[in-house]
Amino acid sequence: MKKFGSSQSVKRLEDARLLTGQGRYIDDIAPKDALVGFVLRSPVAHGTITTLVLDAARAADGVHMVITGADIEAAGYLNAMRYVTVKNGDGSDAVAPRRPVLTTSRVRFVGEAVAFIVADSLAQARDAAELIELDIDDLPVKLDLSAGGAALHDEAPDNVAYNWEHGDEAVVKTAMAQAKHRVSLRIEDNRIIVNSIEPRGCFAEPQGERIHLGVNGQGVWGTKGDLSKFFGIDPSHVRVTTPDVGGGFGMKTMGYPEYFLTAMAARHLGRPVRWMSDRTEAMLADNAGRDLVTVSELGFDENYRLVAYHLDSWSNLGAYVSQYGQLIQSNLFARVLTGTYDIQNVFFRNRAVFTNTAQVDAYRGAGRPEAIFCLERSMDHAARVLGVDPAELRRRNFIRPDQMPYRTATGELYDVGEFGALLDRALEKADLSGFDARRAASAAKGKLRGAGICYYIESILGDPDERAKIELTDAGARVYVGTQSNGQGHETVYPQLVHDQTGLPLEAIEIVQGDSDLIEMGGGTGGSRSVTVQGMALRAAGDSLIGGLRDFMADHLDADDVNFDADEGVFRAPGSNVVVTLLEAAEAARGAGRADLCVVQEYVKLPGRSYPNGCHIAEVEIDPETGVMAVDRYTVVDDFGNMMNPMLAEGQVHGGVAQGIGQAVCERVVYDADGQLLTATFMDYAMPRADNIPFIGFSIRPVPSTANPLGMKGCGEAGTVGALAAVSNAVNDALADMGAKVEMPFTPARLWEAIEATRAIAAE
């Protein structure tokens, strides 16, 4: 049997199952006899409900139940959803209006849940929804990112939820005033829809006195806690499970009204109930991403060293505060505010606005792509204004290796980093020395070519602690983890980790995830935390397992210094020819009444975060006559520390870059003046296609992290963090000579209009 060690590009073990249609997704495993739920959603963006008549719907064929907000409250349940708030700059609390599961009197965005209909079939539920008499008196619609307008909530009369600040503005303004050079830029970060390949869905079923919710989320324990609070029951009466998941990207981390409603219906009816979103429903009601405007100002000394950084941003929360919505563009943005640069004079203000749109929350990177996009766009713009090579400007301002560990202006402690050396490797891999020749070749064809650099750093988020349980069976090991795979390859990399400690073949190691009954607690998946944090928990559990059985075998073999050979998976006693496999040792332990040695559970908490970083270099080519732009070349060099499976890491980078390019070149959410979503189907919302994504050159230059014994750094979101600015900087480089300016997404229409407007000005 071939064994695989660390840093081996083992092919994904789960792919044979998933690619042959044997995946078990939420709609596959829902009980076949389940009733079907359908959500009646608001057709208007802002208004007061004046009529809600349900009699005809409740009497319709096949209908078993219709739930309203009033019904939730009459049952004594909590008609409010959980979320986190931040502090204002003056120390006061941010605005915290209640977000109902079902609204009772007022709607605040198109798609807001008003009622939940449960019927024998989806068609019957839809037909019943048509019978509901719903009248809404329109109220003025608020869409812009500024204070003022018709108030969505009494608690925020100016529609500003919070005014978050970091740093001393007076000190930074003084440093800025004394700077030799000052460069400012207004930056738009366009709103996008997550569009996971599998929409959200769930089913619920009574299990005696308990309620079981199956949901395609990113972790089960938060949902378990939310349901227990909703019903006012002990958490032990709630079980949450998650099967295979077709993409999450942060959007599926949060609670949504449908999960509570499906569970309530199943509990009251004593029957299974299922709900599944369709694509337009997802576009209307799922949490969106990004959506902010930032004004950035950089101050440099005479040697082009940074002396001050000032940012002021306005971000969109949507109609309500989502679970982590207030954290994304404030606290999480600030984690990597200064990137890889040695700058301490920093002031950052973020004001968040309520608008009559769907909620905005975490999307792949959750604040860090936005921060790096802002910083790296600003650095590239400054290089152009100052007449300095973009790579050289970055190199002059990098934190040096001899400054590590380095405490940033926002409190992050970077443990290691060799940013200048990695940048040099990226410039070589991208062949930037040959760029002038490629630009000339493009010009000969009548096209514009530009190159863009982005040097990013990530701060791994999520809980720094995790649990893992390993149970030896007759055939191998069953491994229980607290994270949740959404397609990242956990069923491959976790067995690799366990194999390295136990010697068990990969195919003999079963990963068990997504069941709140099977492991005490877990942090779920998000913030690129899974392999680093869960990996350390698995290592601790493996150490305990081997240590306990080693001690047992010492007694069993009457030997003092039994050792375990992890490469071969056997125990040996020096001076003896006796060789005992791990599974034989487990069998002996069970026979001796020590079955407890075959099951171990460990909890670990990491002492610090890891900070993956790297350089993205993009080249684009634009046809000025049509505005058609192609991302022609793309190079990534990353520092992910020690890697268990480089091929899986490369796949994560490819996916992240594709999502970043998608936002940069084609994705954009558009609402009309009445708050109606105009991009509510794939006919109107442009997703990236194969011809938008070039070959992505990927290589690594690792510097092992000191924040965990495995030396690993997360990689799940890194591709997106670097892609936005790399493509944007390349586009702006291509347009620089003619002076055209354009914001993401760089659609043909936008590029053509910007080019034509510049030509018209030049012709005057």
Assigned token pair, 239: 């079980």
Distance separating alpha carbons of residues 61 and 699, to the nearest angstrom:
61
In this structure, the answer to whether residues 252 and 135 fall within a common structural domain is yes
Q: Which amino acid is at 603?
A: Y
Mean pLDDT of the chain: 94
CA distances from 327 to 131, 286, 462 (A): 40, 18, 12
In a domain, 485, yes or no: yes
Question: Residue 7 — pLDDT band, cuts 50, 70, 90?
Answer: low
- Give the pLDDT score at 498: 92
Strands 160-166 and 346-354: antiparallel
In a domain, 266, yes or no: yes
Contact status, residue 549 vs residue 583, Cβ threshold 8 Å = no
DSSP characters over 13-70: TTHHHHHTT----HHHHS-TT-EEEEEEE-SSSSEEEEEEE-HHHHTSTTEEEEEEHH
Same domain, residue pair 142 and 278 = yes
Helices (H), 679-747: 718-735
Contact 374, 341 (CB under 8 A): no
Identify whether 528 is part of a domain. yes
Q: Is the dihedral of CA 101, 102, 104, 105 positive or negative?
A: positive
| pLDDT at residue 5 tops 50 | no
d(CA 255, CA 325): 12
**Helices 221-231 and 257-269: crossing angle, nearest 10°?**
60
Q: Tokens 């200064």 correspond to what residue? A: 338
Environment class of 186 (CB within 10 Å of its CB; exposed 0-12, middle 13-18, buried 19+): exposed
Instruction: Over range 616-636, report the average pLDDT.
Output: 98
User: 459 versus 166: which is more confidently predicted?
Assistant: 166
Average pLDDT over residues 316-325: 97
Pairwise CA distance, residues 556 & 235, whole Å: 43
What ranges in 409-528 are assigned the alpha helix state H? 419-429, 435-444, 490-502
Residues 477 and 356 in one domain: no
Please tell me the distance from the alpha carbon of residue 257 to that of residue 247, in angstroms, as a whole number: 20
Average pLDDT over residues 138-159: 98
Question: Would you say residue 451 lies in a domain?
Answer: no
pLDDT score of 527: 67
Across the range 451-478, mean pLDDT stands at: 91
Residue 161 belongs to some domain of the structure:
yes
Do 112 and 252 share a domain, yes or no?
A: yes
Give the tokens for residue 591.
């026979």
Q: Are 733 and 632 in contact (CB under 8 A)?
A: no
Contact (Cβ atoms closer than 8 angstroms) between residue 183 and residue 282 = no
pLDDT at 4: 34
Gap between the Cα atoms of 351 and 366, Å rounded: 17
In the structure, what pLDDT confidence band is assigned to residue 182 with cuts at 50, 70 and 90?
very high
Number of structural domains (the chain) is 2
We report the CATH number of the domain holding residue 517 as 3.30.365.10
Range of the domain at 501: 15-21+462-605
User: Which is it for the CA torsion 685, 690, 691, 697, positive or negative?
Assistant: positive
Q: Is the pLDDT of residue 686 over 90?
A: yes
Cα separations in angstroms, 432 against 387, 391, 450, 693, 698? 18, 10, 11, 20, 16
Closest CA to 69 of 38, 94, 104: 104
Q: Is residue 75 part of a domain?
A: yes
Output the pLDDT for position 3.
36
> Can you tell me the distance from the alpha carbon of 254 to that of 289, in angstroms, rounded to the nearest whole number?
13
Do 175 and 63 lie in a common domain? yes
Concatenated DSSP letters of 502-517? H---GGGEEEE-SBTT
**CATH, residue 331:** 3.90.1170.50
* Contact predicate 465/604, CB 8 Å: yes
* Same-domain pairing of 469 and 353: no
DSSP 92: P
For residue 403, count other CB atoms closer than 10 A to its CB.
12
Q: Do residue 476 and residue 340 come from a single domain?
A: no
Kindly report, residue by residue over 42-69, the tens digit of the pLDDT.
999 999 999 999 999 999 999 999 999 9
In this structure, are residues 356 and 675 in contact, taking their beta carbons and an 8 Å threshold? yes
Domain match, 472 and 586 both: yes
> Once rounded to an integer, what is the mean pLDDT over residues 635-653?
91
Helix axis angle for 748-763 and 718-735, nearest 10°, is 30
In contact, 629 and 622? CB cutoff 8 Å: yes
Kindly state the tokens that stand for 622. 């634009």
In this prediction, residue 526 has a pLDDT band, given cuts at 50, 70 and 90, of confident
Q: Which of 361, 379, 407 is the last residue of a domain?
A: 361
Tell me the percentage of the chain whose pLDDT exceeds 70: 99
Q: Residue holding tokens 């219709």?
A: 66
CA distances from 733 to 76, 156, 319, 636, 691 (A): 60, 42, 37, 19, 22
**pLDDT tens column, 185-217:** 999 999 999 999 999 999 999 999 999 999 999
Q: What is the mean pLDDT of residues 495-517?
A: 92
Confidence of residue 528 (pLDDT cuts 50, 70, 90): confident
What's the pLDDT tens digit per position in 530-542?
A: 778 888 889 999 9
Is 284 part of a structural domain of the chain? Answer: yes
pLDDT of 76 higher than 60: yes
Residue matched to tokens 């380095």: 406
Nearest of 419, 422, 425 to residue 406 by alpha carbon: 419
Task: Find the radius of gyration of the CA atoms of the chain.
Answer: 28
Sign of the dihedral defined by the CA atoms of residues 163, 168, 171, 175, in that order: negative
Q: What is the mean pLDDT of residues 289-301?
A: 98
Mean pLDDT score, 382-401: 98
Buried b (16+ CB within 10 A) or exposed e, 383-395: beeeebebbebbe
Place of tokens 């995946």: 23
pLDDT at position 754? 96
> What is the spatial distance between Cα 122 and Cα 213, in angstroms, rounded to a whole number?
19
Q: Decide which of 337, 361, 385 is a domain's last residue.
A: 361
Residue 640 to residue 349: CA distance in whole angstroms? 31
Residue 286 near residue 230 (C-beta atoms within 8 A): no
Residue recorded with tokens 């996008």: 192
Cβ distance 325 to 317 under 8 Å?
yes
Average pLDDT over residues 432-460: 97
The token pair that represents 213 in the structure block: 């919710």
Of 455, 487, 439, whose CA–CA distance to 622 is shortest?
439
Closest CA to 187 of 348, 18, 313: 313
- Phi and psi, residue 156, nearest 5°: -130, 75
Q: Is residue 621 part of a domain?
A: no
Percentage of residues in the chain having pLDDT higher than 90 = 85
Give the model confidence (pLDDT) of 258-276 as tens digits. Answer: 999 999 999 999 999 999 9
**pLDDT surpassing 70 at residue 2:** no
Q: Among 541, 574, 605, which residue terminates a domain?
A: 605
